[in-house]
Structure 1
Amino acid sequence: MSVMELHATSGSTKVFFSDTGKFLPNIKGRTRVMLVTDENVVRMHGDKMNDLDKIVLQAGESAKTIRSVERIYDALLDHDVDRSSLIVGVGGGTVSDVTGFAASTFRRGIPFGFVPTTLLAQVDASIGGKNGINFRGFKNMIGTVRQPEFCMIDLSLLKTLPADQLISGMAEIIKCGAILNNKLFEYVEENHPGIISMDERSLAYAVSETISAKISVVGRDEMDNGERMKLNFGHTVGHAIEKVTGLPHGYSIAIGMVAESRLAAHNGVLPSGDVLRIEGLLKRMGLPTRSEASSTDVLEAISKDKKSSGDSINIALPEKIGNGTIYKIKKRQLKYAVQEVCK
Structure 2
Amino acid sequence: MEEIVLQTEKKISRILIGEKIENLPHYVPSNKKIIILTDTHVLKHYRHKLPPYPVIEIGTGEGIKNLSTIDYIMGQLIRLEADRSSYLVGIGGGIVCDIAGFAASIYMRGIGFGFVSTTLLSQVDASVGGKNGVNYEGYKNMVGVFNQPDFVICDTSMLTTLPREEYIGGYAEVIKHGCIRSRELFEFLEKNAEKALAYDAATIEHCVAQSVRIKAAVVENDEREKGERRVLNFGHTFAHAIEKLTALPHGQAVAIGMNYAAFISYQLKMISENDYQRIRQLISRFQLPVNFSFDTHTLVDAMRKDKKREGDEIHLVLLESLGKAIVKPVTYNQLKTFVDDLREHQ
Q: Indicate the TM-score class for this superposition, using the shorter chain for normalisation.
A: over 0.9
1:158-237, aligned counterparts within 5 Å?
A: 158-237=159-238
Q: Give how far 1:334 is off.
A: 2.1
Q: Give how far 1:84 is off.
A: 2.0
Could you tell me whether the CA contact under 8 Å between 1:315 and 1:328 is conserved in 2? Answer: yes
AA paired with 2:339? V
Instruction: Name the stretch that deviates more: 208-217 or 327-336.
Output: 327-336
Q: Give how far 1:336 is off.
A: 4.0
CA 58–317 in structure 1, closer or farther in 2 if over 3 Å, else same: same
Per the alignment, in what secondary structure is the counterpart of residue 232 of structure 2? helix
Could you tell me whether the CA contact under 8 Å between 2:19 and 2:153 is conserved in 1? Answer: no
Q: Give how far 1:49 is off.
A: 2.3
CA 316–25 in structure 1, closer or farther in 2 if over 3 Å, else same: farther
CA 184–25 in structure 1, closer or farther in 2 if over 3 Å, else same: farther
Instruction: Name the stretch that deviates more: 109-118 or 289-298.
Output: 289-298
1:114-125, aligned counterparts within 5 Å?
A: 114-125=115-126
Partner of 1:14: 14
AA paired with 2:274? G
Does residue 5 of the first structure (1) align with residue 24 of the second (2)?
no
AA paired with 2:2? S
Instruction: Name the stretch that deviates more: 42-51 or 279-288.
Output: 42-51
Instruction: Name the stretch that deviates more: 50-59 or 167-176.
Output: 50-59
TM-score, reference length from structure 1: 0.96
Per the alignment, in what secondary structure is the counterpart of residue 149 of structure 2? coil
Q: Give how far 1:252 is off.
A: 0.3
Instruction: Name the stretch that deviates more: 119-128 or 51-60.
Output: 51-60
AA paired with 2:11? G
AA paired with 2:293? E
Unpaired runs of at least 5, structure 2: none
CA 38–326 in structure 1, closer or farther in 2 if over 3 Å, else same: same
Could you tell me whether the CA contact under 8 Å between 1:195 and 1:203 is conserved in 2? Answer: yes
C-alpha distance in structure 1 between counterparts of 2:86 and 2:23, whole Å: 16
Per the alignment, in what secondary structure is the counterpart of residue 315 of structure 1? strand
Partner of 2:89: 88
C-alpha distance in structure 1 between counterparts of 2:225 and 2:19, whole Å: 32
AA paired with 2:205? A
Q: Give how far 1:50 is off.
A: 6.4
AA paired with 1:13? S
Partner of 1:106: 107
Partner of 2:151: 150
Does residue 320 of the first structure (1) align with residue 324 of the second (2)?
no
Fraction of identical pairs, as percent? 38
Could you tell me whether the CA contact under 8 Å between 1:16 and 1:151 is conserved in 2? Answer: yes
AA paired with 2:15? V
Could you tell me whether the CA contact under 8 Å between 2:20 and 2:153 is conserved in 1? Answer: no
Instruction: Name the stretch that deviates more: 50-59 or 66-75.
Output: 50-59
C-alpha distance in structure 2 between counterparts of 1:63 and 1:342, whole Å: 33
C-alpha distance in structure 1 between counterparts of 2:52 and 2:160, whole Å: 23
AA paired with 1:328? P
1:38-49, aligned counterparts within 5 Å?
A: 38-49=39-50
Q: Give how far 1:342 is off.
A: 5.6
Could you tell me whether the CA contact under 8 Å between 1:10 and 1:146 is conserved in 2? Answer: no
Q: Give how far 1:28 is off.
A: 3.9
1:249-328, aligned counterparts within 5 Å?
A: 249-328=250-329
CA 66–176 in structure 1, closer or farther in 2 if over 3 Å, else same: same
Per the alignment, in what secondary structure is the counterpart of residue 22 of structure 1? helix
Instruction: Name the stretch that deviates more: 263-272 or 14-23.
Output: 14-23
Q: What whole-Å deviation, never above 9, does each CA across 1:128-176 have from its counterpart, x for those lacking one?
A: 0000100110100111000000000111010101110011000000001
CA 10–137 in structure 1, closer or farther in 2 if over 3 Å, else same: farther
Could you tell me whether the CA contact under 8 Å between 1:23 and 1:115 is conserved in 2? Answer: no
C-alpha distance in structure 2 between counterparts of 1:281 and 1:218, whole Å: 26
CA 186–145 in structure 1, closer or farther in 2 if over 3 Å, else same: same
Could you tell me whether the CA contact under 8 Å between 1:91 and 1:115 is conserved in 2? Answer: yes
C-alpha distance in structure 2 between counterparts of 1:246 and 1:10, whole Å: 38
C-alpha distance in structure 1 between counterparts of 2:64 and 2:332, whole Å: 30
Partner of 1:53: 54
Partner of 1:24: 24
Per the alignment, in what secondary structure is the counterpart of residue 13 of structure 1? strand
Number of paired residues? 343
Unpaired runs of at least 5, structure 1: none
Could you tell me whether the CA contact under 8 Å between 1:312 and 1:331 is conserved in 2? Answer: yes
Could you tell me whether the CA contact under 8 Å between 2:231 and 2:325 is conserved in 1? Answer: yes
Partner of 2:129: 128
C-alpha distance in structure 2 between counterparts of 1:339 and 1:42, whole Å: 46
AA paired with 1:258? N
Q: Give how far 1:40 is off.
A: 1.0
AA paired with 2:22? K
